[in-house]
Structure 1
Amino acid sequence: MAGDALAAQLESEHGIVEIMSRSAPALGGTGAGIAFIAGAAIPLIITVLVPGSVEAWAILLAVVVSLTLTSIIVARSGGTAAWRMIVRTLTVGVGTLVVSFLVGRLVF
Protein backbone atom coordinates (compact mmCIF):
# COMPACT_ATOMS: atom_id res chain seq x y z
CA MET A 1 0.00 0.00 0.00
CA ALA A 2 1.13 3.56 -0.58
CA GLY A 3 2.91 5.65 2.01
CA ASP A 4 0.48 8.59 2.32
CA ALA A 5 -3.30 8.96 2.39
CA LEU A 6 -3.68 10.60 -1.04
CA ALA A 7 -1.56 7.97 -2.76
CA ALA A 8 -3.51 5.21 -0.98
CA GLN A 9 -6.83 6.66 -2.12
CA LEU A 10 -5.63 7.09 -5.71
CA GLU A 11 -4.44 3.51 -5.76
CA SER A 12 -7.48 1.90 -4.13
CA GLU A 13 -10.27 3.90 -5.79
CA HIS A 14 -8.82 4.69 -9.20
CA GLY A 15 -6.03 2.16 -9.72
CA ILE A 16 -3.42 4.90 -10.10
CA VAL A 17 -0.15 3.45 -8.87
CA GLU A 18 2.31 6.06 -10.04
CA ILE A 19 1.92 9.78 -10.52
CA MET A 20 2.84 11.08 -13.96
CA SER A 21 5.76 13.42 -14.36
CA ARG A 22 5.26 17.14 -14.75
CA SER A 23 6.40 16.94 -18.36
CA ALA A 24 3.87 14.26 -19.41
CA PRO A 25 1.04 16.72 -20.29
CA ALA A 26 3.43 18.89 -22.29
CA LEU A 27 4.74 15.87 -24.18
CA GLY A 28 1.20 14.69 -24.86
CA GLY A 29 0.20 18.12 -26.12
CA THR A 30 3.28 18.36 -28.31
CA GLY A 31 2.56 14.94 -29.79
CA ALA A 32 -1.04 15.93 -30.47
CA GLY A 33 0.13 19.16 -32.13
CA ILE A 34 2.53 17.29 -34.39
CA ALA A 35 -0.20 14.80 -35.31
CA PHE A 36 -2.58 17.67 -36.10
CA ILE A 37 0.01 19.34 -38.34
CA ALA A 38 0.70 16.07 -40.17
CA GLY A 39 -3.04 15.45 -40.62
CA ALA A 40 -3.63 18.96 -41.92
CA ALA A 41 -0.69 18.69 -44.33
CA ILE A 42 -2.29 15.86 -46.31
CA PRO A 43 -5.29 17.84 -47.66
CA LEU A 44 -3.07 20.88 -48.15
CA ILE A 45 -0.62 18.91 -50.29
CA ILE A 46 -3.51 17.47 -52.30
CA THR A 47 -4.91 20.97 -52.85
CA VAL A 48 -1.59 22.12 -54.25
CA LEU A 49 -0.78 19.07 -56.39
CA VAL A 50 -4.12 17.74 -57.69
CA PRO A 51 -6.05 19.44 -60.51
CA GLY A 52 -9.06 21.46 -59.40
CA SER A 53 -11.57 19.25 -61.22
CA VAL A 54 -10.89 16.25 -58.94
CA GLU A 55 -9.58 18.09 -55.89
CA ALA A 56 -12.67 17.65 -53.71
CA TRP A 57 -12.87 13.90 -54.42
CA ALA A 58 -9.14 13.44 -53.80
CA ILE A 59 -9.39 15.26 -50.46
CA LEU A 60 -12.44 13.19 -49.48
CA LEU A 61 -10.62 9.96 -50.32
CA ALA A 62 -7.51 11.04 -48.41
CA VAL A 63 -9.59 12.02 -45.37
CA VAL A 64 -11.47 8.71 -45.36
CA VAL A 65 -8.24 6.70 -45.65
CA SER A 66 -6.51 8.79 -42.97
CA LEU A 67 -9.44 8.56 -40.55
CA THR A 68 -9.75 4.82 -41.10
CA LEU A 69 -6.06 4.18 -40.46
CA THR A 70 -6.07 6.42 -37.40
CA SER A 71 -9.16 4.65 -36.06
CA ILE A 72 -7.57 1.24 -36.45
CA ILE A 73 -4.39 2.35 -34.68
CA VAL A 74 -6.31 3.96 -31.81
CA ALA A 75 -8.65 0.97 -31.44
CA ARG A 76 -5.77 -1.49 -31.27
CA SER A 77 -3.84 0.62 -28.77
CA GLY A 78 -6.94 1.13 -26.62
CA GLY A 79 -8.21 -2.44 -26.84
CA THR A 80 -11.61 -1.52 -28.32
CA ALA A 81 -13.48 -2.83 -31.35
CA ALA A 82 -11.98 -1.39 -34.53
CA TRP A 83 -15.24 -1.33 -36.49
CA ARG A 84 -16.99 0.77 -33.84
CA MET A 85 -14.11 3.23 -33.78
CA ILE A 86 -14.05 3.42 -37.59
CA VAL A 87 -17.81 4.02 -37.83
CA ARG A 88 -17.75 6.69 -35.13
CA THR A 89 -14.71 8.47 -36.54
CA LEU A 90 -15.94 8.39 -40.14
CA THR A 91 -19.40 9.58 -39.13
CA VAL A 92 -18.05 12.59 -37.29
CA GLY A 93 -15.14 13.29 -39.66
CA VAL A 94 -16.96 12.93 -42.97
CA GLY A 95 -20.06 14.61 -41.53
CA THR A 96 -17.98 17.61 -40.52
CA LEU A 97 -16.33 17.64 -43.93
CA VAL A 98 -19.70 17.59 -45.71
CA VAL A 99 -21.08 20.41 -43.55
CA SER A 100 -17.94 22.49 -44.18
CA PHE A 101 -18.19 21.83 -47.91
CA LEU A 102 -21.86 22.83 -48.04
CA VAL A 103 -21.28 26.00 -46.02
CA GLY A 104 -18.39 26.85 -48.34
CA ARG A 105 -20.64 26.37 -51.37
CA LEU A 106 -23.32 28.63 -49.87
CA VAL A 107 -20.95 31.38 -48.74
CA PHE A 108 -18.44 31.42 -51.58
Structure 2
Amino acid sequence: MVNSNLLTINRQLKAYNSKNLEEFIVNFSEDIKVYEFPEKLLYEGKEQFRLFYSQRFLNSNLLNCIINNRIILNEIIVDHEIIHGIIENPVEVIVLYSFKNNLIFRIDFLK
Protein backbone atom coordinates (compact mmCIF):
# COMPACT_ATOMS: atom_id res chain seq x y z
CA MET A 1 0.00 0.00 0.00
CA VAL A 2 1.34 3.41 -0.99
CA ASN A 3 1.34 6.08 1.71
CA SER A 4 -0.92 8.88 0.37
CA ASN A 5 1.20 11.46 2.21
CA LEU A 6 4.18 10.24 0.20
CA LEU A 7 2.24 10.92 -3.00
CA THR A 8 1.53 14.46 -1.75
CA ILE A 9 5.15 15.16 -0.78
CA ASN A 10 6.40 13.90 -4.14
CA ARG A 11 3.85 16.04 -6.00
CA GLN A 12 4.90 19.15 -4.10
CA LEU A 13 8.60 18.41 -4.74
CA LYS A 14 8.01 17.99 -8.47
CA ALA A 15 6.00 21.25 -8.59
CA TYR A 16 8.67 23.06 -6.54
CA ASN A 17 11.45 21.96 -8.89
CA SER A 18 9.44 22.98 -11.93
CA LYS A 19 8.40 26.24 -10.20
CA ASN A 20 4.73 25.53 -10.89
CA LEU A 21 3.06 27.61 -8.17
CA GLU A 22 -0.49 26.31 -8.67
CA GLU A 23 0.54 22.64 -8.63
CA PHE A 24 2.74 23.35 -5.59
CA ILE A 25 0.10 25.22 -3.54
CA VAL A 26 -2.62 22.55 -3.82
CA ASN A 27 -0.58 20.23 -1.58
CA PHE A 28 -0.97 22.49 1.46
CA SER A 29 -3.88 23.16 3.79
CA GLU A 30 -5.57 26.56 4.01
CA ASP A 31 -4.15 27.00 7.52
CA ILE A 32 -0.55 26.03 6.65
CA LYS A 33 2.00 27.19 9.24
CA VAL A 34 5.71 27.41 8.53
CA TYR A 35 8.23 27.48 11.37
CA GLU A 36 11.93 27.78 11.88
CA PHE A 37 12.50 25.05 14.44
CA PRO A 38 11.52 24.93 17.20
CA GLU A 39 8.69 27.51 17.34
CA LYS A 40 9.60 30.65 15.36
CA LEU A 41 6.57 31.24 13.13
CA LEU A 42 7.72 32.45 9.71
CA TYR A 43 4.32 32.73 8.05
CA GLU A 44 0.86 31.22 8.22
CA GLY A 45 -2.11 30.78 5.97
CA LYS A 46 -2.19 29.88 2.32
CA GLU A 47 -2.12 33.49 1.11
CA GLN A 48 1.15 34.30 2.93
CA PHE A 49 2.50 30.95 1.79
CA ARG A 50 1.53 31.68 -1.83
CA LEU A 51 3.10 35.15 -1.70
CA PHE A 52 6.39 33.81 -0.32
CA TYR A 53 6.71 31.04 -2.89
CA SER A 54 5.55 33.15 -5.83
CA GLN A 55 8.50 35.46 -5.08
CA ARG A 56 10.87 32.51 -4.52
CA PHE A 57 9.91 30.94 -7.85
CA LEU A 58 10.10 34.27 -9.69
CA ASN A 59 13.49 35.27 -8.29
CA SER A 60 15.32 31.92 -8.33
CA ASN A 61 15.96 30.76 -11.89
CA LEU A 62 18.13 27.80 -10.85
CA LEU A 63 15.89 26.65 -8.00
CA ASN A 64 16.12 22.91 -7.41
CA CYS A 65 15.63 20.68 -4.37
CA ILE A 66 17.28 17.29 -3.98
CA ILE A 67 16.15 14.87 -1.28
CA ASN A 68 19.24 13.40 0.33
CA ASN A 69 17.31 11.24 2.80
CA ARG A 70 13.70 10.70 3.86
CA ILE A 71 11.99 9.24 6.93
CA ILE A 72 8.26 8.49 7.02
CA LEU A 73 6.56 8.05 10.38
CA ASN A 74 2.77 8.10 10.61
CA GLU A 75 1.60 11.59 9.64
CA ILE A 76 5.09 13.12 9.47
CA ILE A 77 7.67 13.05 6.70
CA VAL A 78 11.19 14.24 7.46
CA ASP A 79 13.39 15.21 4.52
CA HIS A 80 17.08 16.04 4.45
CA GLU A 81 17.08 18.53 1.56
CA ILE A 82 19.79 20.19 -0.45
CA ILE A 83 18.42 23.27 -2.18
CA HIS A 84 20.19 24.97 -5.06
CA GLY A 85 19.42 28.38 -6.50
CA ILE A 86 18.46 30.38 -3.39
CA ILE A 87 21.96 31.69 -2.73
CA GLU A 88 25.30 31.03 -4.42
CA ASN A 89 26.03 27.84 -2.46
CA PRO A 90 23.55 25.00 -1.85
CA VAL A 91 21.46 25.26 1.31
CA GLU A 92 21.19 22.13 3.43
CA VAL A 93 18.14 21.77 5.70
CA ILE A 94 16.08 19.22 7.56
CA VAL A 95 12.38 19.73 6.94
CA LEU A 96 9.54 18.19 8.96
CA TYR A 97 6.27 18.01 7.03
CA SER A 98 3.16 17.32 9.11
CA PHE A 99 0.02 16.05 7.39
CA LYS A 100 -3.71 16.19 7.98
CA ASN A 101 -6.20 14.81 5.45
CA ASN A 102 -3.38 14.17 2.94
CA LEU A 103 -2.37 17.85 2.94
CA ILE A 104 0.67 19.46 4.53
CA PHE A 105 -0.53 21.67 7.38
CA ARG A 106 2.79 22.42 9.11
CA ILE A 107 6.40 22.73 8.02
CA ASP A 108 9.36 22.99 10.39
CA PHE A 109 12.76 24.00 8.99
CA LEU A 110 15.92 23.02 10.87
CA LYS A 111 19.00 24.83 9.58
**Same fold? TM cut 0.5:** no
Taking structure 2 as the reference length, the TM-score comes to: 0.28
Which protein is richer in helix relative to its size? 1
Taking structure 1 as the reference length, the TM-score comes to: 0.29
Q: Which has the higher contact order (CA 8 A, sep 6+)?
A: 2
Query: Rg: which structure is higher?
Result: 1
